[in-house]
């Protein structure tokens, strides 16, 4: 029996999941779950790095006391980073990408390097949150701090460093930065030079599956555990989630969590006018292929809406929210779920009402109506993006695999099947942790390769199929939705 620990830091929480592999099936055991709440100080949104590292240590201690651990791997969302000074200490708390400091930064960058060139060199979708634009913003606001940087470590790399004292950068997370050459799988010298970012600041790159080092003797002693190897997994949570898609044929995936990452796996990056036009990204996947995907809003609006209802004293579980939404009138109002104002923390229901009024639509009033319009608009947007991806690849797919927490949202899975007109296979819900575990097991040779791993996932976890329903009705509303988007009516 191989036993490895996956630490997955997501937007709603962090989780420590023990993966046990008996040579045939994979079993998961949740060891610890903790909050991941950003800190707001002087108008800046930061990672609560101390609390998270405390919980990571806690997770290790708890897991190691339950069972022997062969290794541990950490994944987080992309683009965010910590900065080290020349003594190897953190220069400041890492800033969270939902901070507003990067608003408009990609436009400024385009004055230095055209959008076309930025895309051609990195294959990354141009999003203000990308590491390059965060760095530009830092330089603009605090050049002194920028000059003190000795090493930039992306968040999983930073946690690996805190555990092992070894500073390395794993490739899947590097590929989210807009600083990375997706063909050579190296830092892009041209981007670094153009934006005056010293190459020495960037970490030495390692492949997923590589061992970063062992937990330092001091830490092992503090925790009363062995000096466990720390593995660079697909440390970008999306790369981990995609690794667990239970399919060995060509597939479309929706990695459904706070964000929705929609795309497919391809052998070589696709960087051309159409992919730029649709703002589709090329990221490195956990097994050397490329994930061609688009990053659009996901369950964030539902999560934030649930929190707002709570603040107002109405407590719902996610299944209760889905239940009330089922009974609300369909297609009351359409949202562009990627509208900027929906991306920041706060009172989302209120913003939806303001948005509906400003776009001359029915104003959703009840909790049920609010939740329904979010789910419906997400499903409509999924169809749009799937059509874009298919156009870029030049191929039609017949099945959509939904992995991640959203695979449990039956309402959204069914609406997706209806909107897209394709069969949906939902699961596994614990995709990110499973992908993290798989890469550790491949790294140690316990599993041969990703193909074998995907068969193991298929036989180890519950998958649910959804067939499209009411296709005509959804098609009709999809057409209206596309029209409204096209003529700018969904942007107040």
User: Which residues are catalytic, by number?
Assistant: 237
367 binds ligand LFR (CB under 6 A): no
Binding test (CB under 6 A) with ligand LFR, winner from 55, 128, 181, 237: 237
Chain position carrying tokens 């407590």: 315
Nearer to ligand LFR, 3 or 172 (CB): 172
336 binds ligand LFR (CB under 6 A): no
Residue 97 C-beta: closest distance to ligand LFR, Å: 6
> What is the secondary structure of 433-466 as a DSSP string?
HHHHHHHHHHHTTSS--HHHHHHHHHHHS--EEE
Q: CA–CA separation, 342 vs 353, rounded Å?
A: 12
Contact, 285 vs 234, CB < 8 A? yes
Contact, 407 vs 427, CB < 8 A? yes
Nearer to ligand LFR, 32 or 236 (CB): 236
Please tell me whether residue 40 adopts helix, strand or coil conformation.
strand
Q: CA–CA separation, 54 vs 61, rounded Å?
A: 11
Q: Distance of CA 251 to CAs 49, 246, 425, Å?
A: 36, 10, 11
Residue 125 C-beta: closest distance to ligand LFR, Å: 8
254 binds ligand LFR (CB under 6 A): no
Nearer to ligand LFR, 2 or 236 (CB): 236
**Residues 115-144: x where in contact with ligand LFR by CB under 6 A, - otherwise, as a string:** --------------x---------------
Strands annotated E in 211-369: 211-214, 229-231, 252-256, 259-266, 281-284, 290-297
Q: Distance of CA 136 to CAs 103, 116, 179, 202, Å?
A: 11, 19, 12, 15
Residue 68 C-beta: closest distance to ligand LFR, Å: 30
Binding test (CB under 6 A) with ligand LFR, winner from 64, 72, 79, 379: 79
Binding test (CB under 6 A) with ligand LFR, winner from 38, 229, 257, 435: 257
Stretch that binds ligand LFR, among 81-89, 178-186, 254-262, 413-421 (CB under 6 A): 254-262
Tokens read off for 381:
């947007």
Residue 281 C-beta: closest distance to ligand LFR, Å: 8
**Residues 90-109: x where in contact with ligand LFR by CB under 6 A, - otherwise, as a string:** -------x------------
Residue 213 C-beta: closest distance to ligand LFR, Å: 24
Give residues 147-176 in contact with ligand LFR (rule: CB under 6 A).
176
301 binds ligand LFR (CB under 6 A): no
Q: CA–CA separation, 474 vs 416, rounded Å?
A: 10
Q: Quick one: which of 18, 8, 15, 9 has its CA closest to 70?
A: 18
Q: CA–CA separation, 432 vs 326, rounded Å?
A: 28
Residue 239 C-beta: closest distance to ligand LFR, Å: 8
238 binds ligand LFR (CB under 6 A): yes
- Binding residue count for ligand LFR, defined by CB under 6 A: 14
Q: CA–CA separation, 73 vs 437, rounded Å?
A: 7
Radius of gyration of the chain (CA): 22
Nearer to ligand LFR, 364 or 428 (CB): 428
Stretch that binds ligand LFR, among 46-54, 206-214, 235-243, 389-397 (CB under 6 A): 235-243
Nearer to ligand LFR, 160 or 258 (CB): 258
Give residues 202-231 in contact with ligand LFR (rule: CB under 6 A).
none
Tell how strand 229-231 and strand 71-76 pair up: parallel
Residue 324: other Cβ atoms inside 10 A: 16
259 binds ligand LFR (CB under 6 A): yes
Ranges of H-type helices in 72-210:
105-112, 115-122, 131-141, 143-148, 155-164, 171-174, 189-194
Nearer to ligand LFR, 333 or 409 (CB): 409
Give residues 39-78 in contact with ligand LFR (rule: CB under 6 A).
77-78
Give me the residues that bind ligand LFR (CB under 6 A), please: 77-79, 97, 129, 176, 236-238, 257-259, 261, 295
């Amino acid at each position: 029996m191989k036993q490895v620990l996956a630490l997955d830091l997501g937007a709603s929480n962090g989780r420590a999941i023990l993966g046990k592999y008996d040579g045939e099936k994979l079993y998961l055991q949740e060891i610890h779950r903790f909050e991941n709440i950003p800190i707001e100080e002087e108008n800046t949104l930061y990672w609560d790095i101390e609390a998270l590292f405390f919980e990571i240590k806690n997770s290790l201690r708890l897991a190691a006391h339950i069972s022997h651990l062969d290794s541990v791997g950490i994944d987080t969302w992309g683009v965010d980073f910590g900065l080290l000074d020349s003594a190897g200490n953190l220069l400041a708390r890492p800033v969270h990408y939902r901070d507003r400091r990067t608003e408009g930064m990609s436009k400024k960058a385009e004055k230095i390097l055209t959008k076309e060139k930025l895309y051609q060199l990195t294959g990354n979708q141009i999003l203000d949150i990308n590491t390059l634009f965060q760095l530009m913003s830092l330089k603009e606001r605090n050049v002194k701090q920028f000059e003190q940087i000795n090493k930039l470590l992306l968040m999983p790399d930073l946690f690996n460093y805190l555990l092992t004292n070894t500073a390395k950068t794993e490739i899947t997370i590097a590929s989210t930065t807009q600083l990375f050459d997706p063909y050579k799988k190296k830092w892009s010298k041209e981007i670094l030079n153009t934006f005056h970012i010293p190459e020495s600041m960037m970490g030495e790159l390692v492949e997923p599956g590589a061992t970063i080092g062992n937990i330092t003797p001091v830490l092992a002693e503090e925790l009363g555990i062995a000096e466990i190897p720390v593995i660079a997994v697909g440390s970008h949570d999306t790369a981990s989630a995609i690794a667990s898609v239970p399919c060995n044929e060509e597939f479309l995936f929706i990695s459904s969590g706070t964000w929705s990452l929609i795309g497919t796996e391809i052998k070589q990056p696709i960087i051309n006018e159409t992919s730029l036009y649709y703002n589709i990204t090329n990221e490195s996947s956990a097994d050397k292929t490329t994930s061609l995907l688009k990053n659009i809003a996901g369950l964030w609006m539902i999560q934030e809406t649930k929190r707002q209802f709570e603040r107002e004293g109405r407590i719902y579980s996610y299944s209760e929210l889905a239940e009330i939404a089922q009974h609300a009138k369909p297609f009351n109002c359409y949202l562009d779920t990627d509208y900027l104002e929906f991306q920041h923390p706060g009172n989302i229901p209120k913003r939806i009402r303001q948005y509906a009024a400003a776009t001359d639509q029915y104003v959703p009033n009840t909790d049920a109506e609010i939740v329904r319009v979010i789910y419906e608009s997400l499903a409509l947007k999924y169809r749009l993006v799937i059509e874009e991806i298919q156009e870029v690849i030049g191929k039609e797919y017949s099945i959509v695999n939904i992995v991640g927490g959203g695979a449990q949202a039956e309402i959204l899975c069914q609406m997706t099947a209806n909107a897209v007109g394709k069969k949906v296979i939902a699961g596994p819900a614990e995709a990110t942790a499973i992908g993290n575990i798989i890469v550790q097991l491949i790294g140690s040779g316990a599993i041969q390769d990703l193909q074998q791993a995907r068969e193991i996932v298929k036989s180890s976890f519950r998958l649910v199929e959804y067939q499209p329903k009411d296709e005509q009705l959804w098609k009709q509303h999809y057409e209206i939705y596309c029209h409204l988007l096209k003529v700018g009516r969904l942007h107040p």
